[in-house]
Structures are given as C-alpha cells and as structure tokens.
Structure 1
Amino acid sequence: MIQKIFSYLIPIKIFKKKSARSKVIEVTWANGELVLDSENTNYSYGSLQRILRYGLRNIGYETILKMEHILLLGVAGGSVIKTLVDEVEYKGKITGVEIDPDMIQIANQYFNLDQIKQLEIIIDDAFEFVLKTKDKYDLIIIDVFEDIKMPNFLFESFFANRVFSLLKNKGVVLFNTMILDEAHNVRNRKYISEINSKLFSSKMLPRVEVHNELIIIEKVA
C-alpha cells in the first residue's frame, strides 16, 4: 500500500472525526503502521502499544497465558488487546470497557476489533462498570484517558479499593498513568503509599516513554 510506504517519511492522516467524548479522533499511517490519536496524544498503537507491551512483559507472558479473564478499562483502538491476542497468544476471555461508542466504531473499522472472538466490548463508564460488575479478574488493565487528562476518580481510594476487590488471588492490576508535571509525580506516589502492603505488592516501572509511568499491583493474599 502506497500510504504505508510513504508513512515512513511523513505521517499520513486517513480519517478524522469529532467525538462528543474524545473531541478529535484521528487514524494515521505512521512509520508503516496505523495509529489512533486524540488531539494531543497517541491513543492506540504507536507509543501506547509499546508502553503497555512493556507492562505485560514485566508481568510475564507465561503468567498471562494461565489467566482466565482479563478486564481492560479504556479500550480506544484496542492495541493492548491486539498485543494480548497476537503476541502473547492469550486464549482466555477479555472484557473491554469503553465510554466512547465512536471510538469502538473506529476500532472495528480500522483495526478489526470486532473480529476477536474472545473479546466482549461494553460501552460504559469505567467507574460505573467497576461498581456493577460481579466478575473477578486475573488481570485488570487501567488505561483511561480523556486526551491528555486522567479522570481524578482513578486515583481515589474508593475506586482503587473497588478495583482491587475484583482481583482473583495472585491477580494483577496494570495501571498506565500520565506524568506531565510534579503534581502528577506526587499524585502517583500518594496512590502507591495508600495501597495496603499486607494484601498487595506494588511497583512503578522505569519509564519507556517520557510522560507515561506504569504501576503494577499484585494481590499477594
């Protein structure tokens, strides 16, 4: 495809849409791959896929392969789902929760998300879903952004404790956060400090991208 070849020289935008939730959504050929971007940041594939792949590798592909059910809060274009299915070769159930129906429509059209049989997509607010779900999960991936902003509720202890309560024994949370200033550094450290160290182990991974910091929390009891 000529657009793919030329994208190694210059990004080629092939789709742009205004969304009520995400303002602007763009699909672009960049360095030979399709990526999904919001107005100011990469939403799926590209750098975001590298970040979450790094987190999954840290958890361990062998560990993930033994899991039965993975929950993804914040689907966007579904790059982490593609990593799980195509690279990890994960065969268990994946539930993806995405607030923006426009995003899922684009993910299906350009990234074939609707062809993944083990995937269930639920259009809902992550906060609301976490309160309602009766399931337990082996891995919960939190990747919720509104452009470059992260909703405050993600860092509140009420939400964090509810997420942790949905983990099976030895279950893991992979939390992708964005650091744009010192206040965000303080926020992340406060979040870590409030985790019950008797029940959970937690660590922050060295950054692979300048503004993203991954937090991994594992249920040990």
Structure 2
Amino acid sequence: MIQKLFSYLIPVKIFKKKSQRSKMIEVTWANGELVLDSENTNYSYGSLQRILRYGLRNISYEAILKMDHILLLGVAGGSVIKTLVDEISFKGKITGVEIDPDIIKIANEYFNLNEIKQLEVVIDDAFEFVLKTKDKYDLIIIDVFEDIKMPNFLFESFFSGHICSLLQNKGFILFNTMILDESHNVRNQKYISEINPQLFTAKMLPRIEVHNELIIIEKLT
C-alpha cells in the first residue's frame, strides 16, 4: 500500500472525524503502522502501545498468561488488547469499557477490534461501570483520557477504593497517567500514598515516552 510506504517518510492521515466525547479523532499511517490519535495526543498504537506494553512486561507476561479475566477502562483503538492477544497470547476474557461509541466504530473498521472473540466491549462511563460490576478481575488496566486531560474521579480515593475491591487475590492494577506539570506529580504521589500498604504494594514507573507515568498496584493476598 502506497500510503503505508510513504508513512516512513511523513505521517499520512487517512481518516478524521469530530467526536462528541473526544473532540477530533484521526487515523494515520505513521512509520508503517496505523495509529489512532486525538487532537493533541496518541490514543492507540504508536507511543501508547509502547507505554502499556512496558507496564505489562513489568507485571510479567508469565503472570498475565495465568489470568482469567482482564478489565480495560478506556478502549480507544484497542492497542493494549492487541498486545494481550497477539503478543502475549492471553486466552482469557477481556472486558473493555469505552464511553465513546464513535471510537469503537473506528476501532472496528480500521483495527478489526470486533474480530477478537474473547473481547466484550461495553459502552459506558468507567466510573459508572466500576460501581455496577459484580465481577472480580485479575488485572485492571486504567487508560482513561479526554485528549490530554484525565478525569478527576480517577484519582479520588472513593474510586480507587472501588477499583482495588474488584481485584482477585494477587491481582494487579496498571494505571496510565500523564504528567504535564508539577501539580500532576503531586497528584500521583498523593494517589500512591493513599493505597493501603497492608493490603497492596504500589510503585511508579516514571517518565515513559516523556510525559507518561505508570502506576502498578498489586493485591498482596
């Protein structure tokens, strides 16, 4: 495909759409691969896939292969799902929660997300879903952005407490955050400090792809 070849020289935009939730969504060939971007940041594939892959490696692929059920809050184009299924060969169930139906349509059309049989996509607000779900999960991946902004509720103790309560024994949370100024550093430090050290371990993997910081939480028992 000529667009793919040209993309090794310059990015080639092939789709652009205004979304009610995400403002502008773009699909672009970049360095020979399709990526999904919002107006100011990468939403799926490209740098985001590298960031979350790094977090999954830190948890360990061996541990992930033994898991039964993974929850993803914030699906976008589904790059982390492709990493789980294609690279790690995860065979369990994946539940993906995405608030923006426009993004799921694009993910299905350009990234074949609907062909992944073990994936269930739920169109819902992450906050509402977490309060409603009755399931327990071995891994919860939090990747919720509105362009470069992260909703405040993600960092509130009420929400983090609910997220932690959904973990199976020895389960993990992989939380992708964006650091753009000192207030975000303070916010992340506060978040970590509020995790109960008797029940969980928590660590940060700082400055991945310049602006991202991963928080990994493990339930001890």
Name the TM-score class by shorter chain: over 0.9
Please report how far the alpha carbon of residue 208 of structure 1 lies from its aligned counterpart in structure 2 after TM superposition.
2.3
Is 1:218 equivalent to 2:189 in the alignment?
no
- Alignment partner, residue 121 of structure 1: 121
| Residue aligned with 1:16, SS | strand
| Residue aligned with 2:39, SS | coil
Q: Distance in 2 between matches of 1:218 and 1:6?
A: 43
> When the two structures are superposed, what TM-score results if normalisation uses the length of structure 1?
0.99
- Alignment partner, residue 141 of structure 1: 141
Is 1:176 equivalent to 2:176 in the alignment?
yes
- Alignment partner, residue 111 of structure 1: 111
Whether contact under 8 Å (2:206, 2:212) holds in the other structure is: no
Whether contact under 8 Å (2:65, 2:89) holds in the other structure is: yes
Percent identity of equivalent pairs: 85
Q: Distance in 2 between matches of 1:206 and 1:58?
A: 13
* Structure 2 unmatched runs, 5+: none
- Alignment partner, residue 44 of structure 2: 44
* Structure 1 unmatched runs, 5+: none
Please report how far the alpha carbon of residue 205 of structure 1 lies from its aligned counterpart in structure 2 after TM superposition.
1.0
Is 1:6 equivalent to 2:6 in the alignment?
yes
| Residue aligned with 1:207, SS | strand
- Alignment partner, residue 165 of structure 1: 165
For residues 12-51 of structure 1, the aligned pairs below 5 Å read 12-51=12-51
> Aligned partner of 2:83: which letter?
T
Root mean square deviation, CA, Å: 0.4
Q: Distance in 2 between matches of 1:132 and 1:49?
A: 28
Please report how far the alpha carbon of residue 206 of structure 1 lies from its aligned counterpart in structure 2 after TM superposition.
3.4
| Residue aligned with 1:104, SS | helix
Deviation beyond 6 Å, 4+ runs, structure 1: none
